[in-house]
Amino acid sequence: CTLILCSFITVSLTLAVAYYIYTPLPDAIQQPWKLMMLDAYFRTAIHVGIMKGLISESSPGPVPGVKVSDITFAGIPVRVYEPPAGGEGHLRRGLVYFHGGGWALGTTKKGTYDTINRMVSDELNTVVVSVEYRLYPEVHFPVPYLDCLAAAKHFLSPEVLAKYAIDPERVAVAGDSAGGNLAAAVAQEISVDDSMSVKFSVQALIYPVLQALDFNTPSYVENQYMPILSRSFMIQFWVQYLNADLSLVPQFAVNNHSTLQHSAITPELRSRLDWNVLLPQKYKKNHKPLIVEKGSHGVLKKVPGLLDVRAAPLLAGPEVLAKCPRAYILTCEYDVLRDDGLMYARRLQDAGVTVTIAHYEDGFHGCFSFISWPLEFDVGKRALRGYLSWLQNNL
């Protein structure tokens, strides 16, 4: 009886683990079981609250010759990467990087973020500034944005650029996911700030999150259960960032927070994220917009950040977008944020900005960070190489 009981328990646990790990994935995804196990690990880590420094823990090791300094810019902690000595007398590129992690997770000081910034510094002769902005639950919007803006403005000052021998015509801002959100928002603000004598010449946005009014775009619907970022997790990150009650997550999921009864969401504002107009047909497919007539009352008063362009850069007006630097926008087919990036690319192009769209048909959210064993995916290595190549040719 004891043997039978043990066997039953073993089989039950095996089935339970398999059920927890298994997620149906599209055929285009390479190494599906690795991605499933990675997703299960992330979900578990988030649930038990150990995710703070988990993002991109894997790293192939430091790049020799790059000088790394942990200092502060305008009181904000930053890590500065300076390329190896050589080429004295020639000005270098500059780049400000904001890491991803839902405004709640991640760090620039270890893992893949550190490795990628070392690579950019070494291969492209670039001074990279990676910003350690404050995170949830310590702070909420607009603090992470303000941290990033303050650090970026400090870096762009003529005195600091001169100190690091940086060409003021060759300074970029970049970021992935929530960091892409911060990069887009900071680029917009600096573009229209007449007090700034030096502005960013390019922006590189890696699967950026750009709006929180429509969680039923085709990509949100198609990829709502995809690793590494499900729709429910992305909504949770938004609700936390905007300091709203987590009980609102189900309401946001069905667009009850952006109903037609909200007069503050004008037709003009809605047009700025109208995927039925902004997306190519291949992404719209047979999806229909989910527009709710009546829903949750008072949400916009409780969560004003929903309409703040500093939180949702896709809502910026064309007069702001027209002043933005030329852009590189990376999107992945199997990512809830795919359409955010594609819509922003279209709106920038409509405003006269030159945009390069790098779309990965076999890509998924987070792949840019998975470039080394054991968290290595070929699409991640291709995405990184594409990013480096674009910066090489455009910065």
Catalytic site positions: 177, 335, 365
d(CA 135, CA 145): 10
Q: Are 365 and 336 in contact (CB under 8 A)?
A: yes
Place of tokens 């920038």: 348
User: What Rg value do the Cα atoms of the chain yield, rounded?
Assistant: 21
Q: At what angle do helices 2-21 and 32-48 cross, to 10 degrees?
A: 100
2, two tokens:
């004891």
297 Cβ neighbours under 8 A, 6+ residues apart: none
Question: If phi over 0 gives left and psi between -120 and 50 gives alpha, with beta otherwise, what is residue 277?
Answer: alpha
182 Cβ neighbours under 8 A, 6+ residues apart: 98, 133, 144, 145, 148, 175
Q: Are 279 and 218 in contact (CB under 8 A)?
A: yes
| DSSP 8-state secondary structure symbol assigned to residue 368 | G
CB count, 10 Å around CB of 254?
13
Q: Are 370 and 58 in contact (CB under 8 A)?
A: yes
Q: Cα angle at 186 between 313 and 51, to 5 degrees?
A: 85
Could you write out the DSSP letters of every residue in 38-81? HHHHHHHHHHHT--TTTTT-----PPTT-EEEEEEETTEEEEEE
Q: Are 82 and 157 in contact (CB under 8 A)?
A: no
Helix (H) or strand (E) holding 275, with range, is helix 275-278
d(CA 215, CA 290): 9
Q: Would strands 166-176 and 126-131 be described as parallel, antiparallel, or unpaired?
A: unpaired
Place of tokens 């990069």: 183
Residues in the chain: 395
